[in-house]
Every structure is written in C-alpha cells, then in structure tokens.
Amino acid sequence: MNYEFLKNEDPDVYRTIAGEQKREAEGLELIPSENYVSPAVQEALGSIFTNKYAEGFPGKRYYGGQRFTDEVESLAIERAKELFHCDHANVQPLSGAPANWGVFAAWLEPGDTVLGMDLSHGGHLTHGAPVTFAAKIFNFVRYKMKDVETGEIDYDELRELALKHKPKIILAGFSAYPREYDYAKFAEIANEVGAVAMADMAHIAGLIVAGVAKNPFDYGFHVMTTTTHKTLRGPRGGMILSRGEVSSPLKAPAKTIENLPTLIDRAVFPGMQGGPHMHQIAATAVCLAEAATPEFRSYARQILVNAKTLADALMAGGAKLVTNGTDNHLMLVDCMRSWGLDGKVVEELLDSVGITLNKNAVPDDVNPPFRPSGIRLGTPACTTRGMKEVEMEKIAELILQTVKIAEGAPREALKERSGELKKVHSDVKALCARFPIPSM
C-alpha cells in the first residue's frame, strides 16, 4: 500500500508499519493462526466503509444512508452461506471470541453447562478456561484425548460427561489440536442429551470451504463459529453460521433450535455489539469470493501437504510431536521431551533467527502457561507465499539447526554462539527473499 499521507502526517506510526512490513517480508511466519491477506482484501479493509455507522442488519438499520453497507454485508452473508452450506450467516462479530460469546449469549442462561475440549489438550480459551469471563457465568466441563500418541478423542468419556452434566452446548473446536474430529459422534451425543452441537472452526474454515477438511454441517451440527483471518486469508473478524431461517417476531423468540439464527442475531446486536465494522465486513466479502476459486482450493490442499512434510521432517530430526504428526495445518512439538528446553526458550530462540511461532501447552502440561513445554507451528502463511515441500524440509532443517545450537548450553553461553545464529538468520532471509508476500 502507498503510505504517502501517513509518512508526512505521523512518521512515528509509519515507522512502526514499515518495521512490521520488513519483519514479515524477511521472516518465516509459522504461527498457524496467522496469514497474509491479498491486495484486494487489504484495499477493502482500508476503504471508506470505515466512516459509516450501520447498527442493525441489512434492511433493518438504525441510521440512514445504508444502501451500500446493506449491499456489501448482504454479499458477505450470501457468500458465506454458499461456501459453508448453511442457511444463515452473521458476519458482524469482531473476532472469534465474540463469535463464540454470541452463541453462548443466544442459547444459554447463567449457570448453564457447556461441554468443551480441555485447554491443555488443544481447546481454546473461550471454551471454558477459568481465566475467562465466560467461565464466571457458565459451567464448563471438559473432555480430553484418550491417547495423546494418536490424538483420538475419548468419545466414551465425552458421552458419559454429557449424560452426567446435561450440557446445553457440546462444543467441538480447538486452538491446538492436530487431528480431525469425528463430527458424527459429537452430533449423536448432542442429540442424545438435547444439546446444541456447536463447532468452533476458526482454524480450519479455509480447509472446510476448500473441501479438504470435513464440514460439521454435513454431520448434523446446528451452529458453527469461525474467524476470517486464519486459513480463510481474510481480515481480522468472525462469523456465526447456522441452520434455520431468521424470523422477525415482535417479541423475543423462544429458545428452540429452529429459532437459533434469530437468537444469534439478537445476541450479537443489540445484545453484545453496537455498530459493525463495515470496512472489515467488506474485506470479509472479498476473502469469501477468493475462497470460492479453484486457486484457493489448490492452496488449501497444499497447506495439508506442506504440514505433513514439515511434521515428518521435524520428527525425522528427533522432534517429538504431540499425536506423532498432523491431519490439518498445525502441529505441536513437545520441546521438553525433544530437547530438554521449554517452549518459551525455543520460541525466543527461533524468533532471534526470523522464525516466528508460539509457545504452547502440551497435554496435561506441568509447566506454567507463560513457560509451557511445547511450541505450536503451522503452514498457512508459508503456503500463501508459494512455498512447497522442498521449502518445508528446509524450514525443518533451519528449526532443528537453531535448536541444536542452544541445546545443552546455558542461556548466557548463547552469546558465544551468536555467529552460528546469524548464519541461520541469513539463510532464513535468503529463503524468504525467493517468496515475496503477495500484498507487499
């Protein structure tokens, strides 16, 4: 983008943007929840729609001047419905957490129970972590993997928990789970106890619309939440997708599955949010159009190929992966078992050579959250740059090489090895120079 006005008006802010642009261009982005938007998405996000208040929904706004906001939000809604094979889409949530909150607010009363995945086994903060506000209002019960070597969910335990606690929502979704769910079993258990089957597909939405990951709606799920900025390659935003038609009753509708879309809309606005961010919604419409193309389907397939290649190469080099591999775009490395280093040390070490990933808990981690035992990494962003299997093997080599430099050495001794780290950093920059970021 051209920043001529910003350069003159606020050089301090411009300097930070230029610095971030250089960091992204010269570094390997392996955080699985991050990606690069297209130039078209970036243009829409910076568009004049940021000027407009549009409280309400298309055709039912509280302000005038809504012709084009209605058009662009309707475009986003229809594109989302077609891509995800659902009846209704609310594209106004500001991100993934507010999207999950929207479903909770629509369906639950204070004290109601949600059955979600344990955080240390791959679940998300919004699925009931005690530090969240949701955990103060609702009762969260957690299921786990039965076998961390294979990643299989303990569906027998899940059913027992559901029969015992009678949850109002059974939530299939993750932040750090490398395998695929058996959605039919989730839906079967939810139906048995009269719960809403909810899927949080923030991480793999792009894989779902491309047909390379299963769609929970095909297995009887009632509602799905997602972000738009991960594998969908859109702006930072969220969506709530559901089955059923929106009605416009004069009074609040009854809490029935059939009324879920209406309940969700009312929960998002006026229940939780005010004016939607129309520039964000415009950019979401663009990314959804891009996700409908054959090129995007090829991209999604390559994400999975790259992830498997990277996981195999890391394991061949001695890294211990949770579940011994991956079925999706991400993987977890148990750093303590692999190298005797915690995840924070490995994250900082790799950051020093231009490889960005994030520290992460492993199942039943005994280490604290800010110094967990593992790291989480994935392939969406590198795949957007055009990298393929050969580059994944090189990335694994660079990671293993960097960790080997520090393995067994006190942190203060790393200064003596700065030359070795600089050589790795130089190799990272050279690799990135061959694969420019599309929007830069």
* Binding annotation for (6S)-5,6,7,8-tetrahydrofolate: 119, 123-125
Question: Is 60 considered catalytic here?
Answer: no
Q: In a 3-state reduction of DSSP, which class is residue 61?
A: strand
Q: HSE of 102 in the Cβ direction (CA atoms, 13 Å)? A: 34
Total residue length of the chain: 440
Pick the catalytic residue: 55, 87, 112, 312? 55
Dist CA 121 CA 111 (whole Å): 24
DSSP state of 321: B
Report which of 384, 33, 74, 371 is spatially closest to residue 246, judged by C-alpha positions.
Answer: 74
Dist CA 419 CA 410 (whole Å): 16
Cβ–Cβ under 8 Å, residues 17 and 423: no
Question: Is 200 considered catalytic here?
Answer: yes
* Binding annotation: 119, 123-125
Cβ–Cβ under 8 Å, residues 31 and 356: yes
DSSP state of 209: H
Tokens of 438: 């599309």
How crowded is residue 324: how many other Cβ atoms within 10 Å of its Cβ? Answer: 14
Pick the catalytic residue: 226, 227, 262, 402? 227
Pick the catalytic residue: 3, 14, 53, 155? 53
Pick the catalytic residue: 81, 236, 301, 320? 236
Q: Which helix (H) or strand (E) holds 196?
A: strand 196-200
Burial class (CB in 10 A: 0-12, 13-18, 19+), 366: exposed
Pick the catalytic residue: 29, 118, 200, 265? 200
Question: Is 52 considered catalytic here?
Answer: no
Question: Is 427 considered catalytic here?
Answer: no
DSSP state of 15: H
Question: Is 181 considered catalytic here?
Answer: no
Pick the catalytic residue: 168, 214, 230, 344? 230
Question: Is 230 considered catalytic here?
Answer: yes
Enumerate the active-site residues: 53, 55, 200, 227, 230, 236
